[in-house]
Structure 1
Amino acid sequence: MDEARGTTGPGGTKGPSPGPDDPAFPSHRAPRCRSLDALDAQVIRCRACPRLVAWREEVAATKRAAYREWEYWGRPVPGFGPPDAALAVVGLAPAAHGGNRTGRMFTGDASGDFLFKALHQVGLASQAQATHAGDGLELRGVRLAAPVHCAPPDNKPTPGERDNCRPWLAAELDLLSPGLRTVVVLGAFGWQALLPVLAAAGWQVPRPRPGFGHGVHVTLAAADDGRPPLHLLGCYHPSHRNTATGRLTLAMLVEVFREAAHLSGL
């Protein structure tokens, strides 16, 4: 874990660093992390959004009847996947009784079941099911990330909560950037949240910004540091509503990941 650093105030004096309850905690801490392990350790400490903190902890205390024997994670959920991933998958936020329960992104709910089944079919996941953090699942060349790290009420984070959390995702993508080739974005919220993050992380996002759609493919040039272009793919979110109505089928999701794997050299 990176050591705490003071902030420089008037006259060059150092003051205390923002604590985990401070809205400035993500923007202060995230850029100082030099590894994904260090970043994840700081994400887990974050309490910058009071509404999300109250909700995630209430859910962890009251639980769902089916999981009454579980000890819920009840904290921000960090990204999941190897530090040299060539492909990132960006969703929305942890589910109240999914990632907020298991402590691992996209694990323990119907959306995750659908996602991991597709990743397994393409050879990007070691198994088709994800039930808990110690279930043996390994991702191959893929990192799962989210614009918001805490489970939000009704799966709807506010714009302010999204913006508070943005530095974590920007730092995560920057740390992945030496090998990152492709990002699959699940849903319109993730797409809208990601574009300014990519711009902050050093890729050229066109104006007007490209709109979200299933199957959309946008190629972003790196700003000025010699990195290769980044492929951005849009995909409907594997929410229960989308999968139950057939708006997103398993075959459609597998097709997106096959293309992403090809573009990423996986």
Structure 2
Amino acid sequence: MLAALAALLLYNVLVPAPHPLTTREVNDAIAQALASATPPPAFSARVYQVIQPSLVLIQTQAPGANGKVEEGLGSGVVIDDFGDILTSLHVVTKAVDIRVTFADGTQSSAEVIAAQPENDIAVLRASQPPALLVPATLGNPNAMRVGDETFAVGHPFGLYGSMSAGVISGFDRSFQPANSDQRLQGLIQIDAAVNPGNSGGPLLNRDGQVIGIVVGIVNPTEQDVFIGIGFAVPINVAGGAAGLPPY
């Protein structure tokens, strides 16, 4: 017993007691614990980071009534290394001047180089694209299901780079845009908010891949007010206008 007591006393002498923590050390420990517990960014934030370098603002001028010039705007997305831009045909129909602004601020005139009137799709080519182009990654709309998350990014009412989120509400829908004799077929129905200026912008999956091109909204009041029903042309259809292979 004496030996055990001696060993205990010797241990207490040789091994000092732990020093009390300072306030700073406690705060640092709490900060580290909170940092390790911080959740990753939301899917929507990551989707936006992926697509933002590929976004394009489209501004047009067209002849109007009484000799006036009508100005319009829409959205587009870079789809290849040439800087070709996929958008909605109605955004540039009748335009005598098309100006595009890339994500880095580069501005250029552009022209329509291909079109799919039956799908309301056009391909634009800028005369002076930026030196660094970031084409969007294209996804497979056939892999999507009703209820899957979707994200629409564009420039509604000229508000650059706006994003909305929703779900796929249905497939293979038909829709006849206002002031058009063409009824569009095989559309993706979405409930992500889209408004004037969103037309031609990308519809994205949760990986930031383009699965469609926004072409319109149901507009029963004729006030261009979103009521929860929007439409997009599947990218495997729209991409055909740019010569992209089907998949």
- State the TM-score bracket (shorter-chain normalisation): under 0.3
> Could you state the TM-score of these two structures normalised by the residue count of structure 1?
0.22
> Could you state the TM-score of these two structures normalised by the residue count of structure 2?
0.23
| Structure with more strand by fraction | 2
| Structure with more helix by fraction | 1
